């Protein structure tokens, strides 16, 4: 039984370390998938999540991040098929 508990504690320590390292690497303190630097740059805080759409352009933050568009500017969004036919 002691062995099992020891192994569980060791596993917990390893998992916790990985989680800490991952957070530092991704710099994603709130764990929403958006780098904190990016959130601070556009919003000035970490309150929005990956699926939020604060500029209401229909594009979620995570998609704005992946396509390098401005998540705080409704005119800045990924070009979609059909956008040329305005
Ligand atoms: Ca974040
Ligand atoms: Ca948006």
pTM, two decimals, is 0.64
Structure confidence by residue, pLDDT tens digits, 22-75: 555 558 999 999 999 999 999 999 999 999 999 999 999 999 999 999 999 999
Backbone angles phi, psi at 72, to 5 degrees: -110, 5
Identify whether the C-beta of residue 74 lies closer than 8 Å to the C-beta of residue 56: yes
Residue 38 class from Cβ within 10 Å (0-12 exposed, 13-18 middle, 19+ buried)?
middle
Ligand 1 geometric centre to CA of 78 (Å) = 21
Angle formed at CA 56 by CA 43 and CA 28, multiple of 5 degrees: 35
Q: Which ligand is nearest to the CA of 47?
A: 1
Ligand 2 geometric centre to CA of 20 (Å) = 29
Structure confidence by residue, pLDDT tens digits, 66-85: 999 999 999 998 877 776 65
- How far is residue 83's CA from residue 43's CA, in Å, rounded to a whole number? 27
DSSP tag of 65: H
Taking all residues of the chain, what is their mean pLDDT, rounded to a whole number?
Answer: 87
């Amino acid at each position: 039984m002691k062995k099992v508990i020891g192994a569980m504690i060791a596993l917990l320590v390893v998992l916790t370390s990985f989680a800490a390292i991952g957070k530092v690497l991704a710099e994603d303190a709130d764990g929403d998938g958006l780098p904190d630097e990016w959130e601070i740059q556009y919003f000035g805080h970490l309150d929005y999540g990956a699926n939020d759409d604060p500029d209401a352009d229909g594009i979620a933050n995570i998609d704005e991040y992946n396509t390098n568009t401005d998540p705080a500017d409704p005119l800045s969004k990924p070009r979609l098929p059909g956008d040329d036919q305005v």
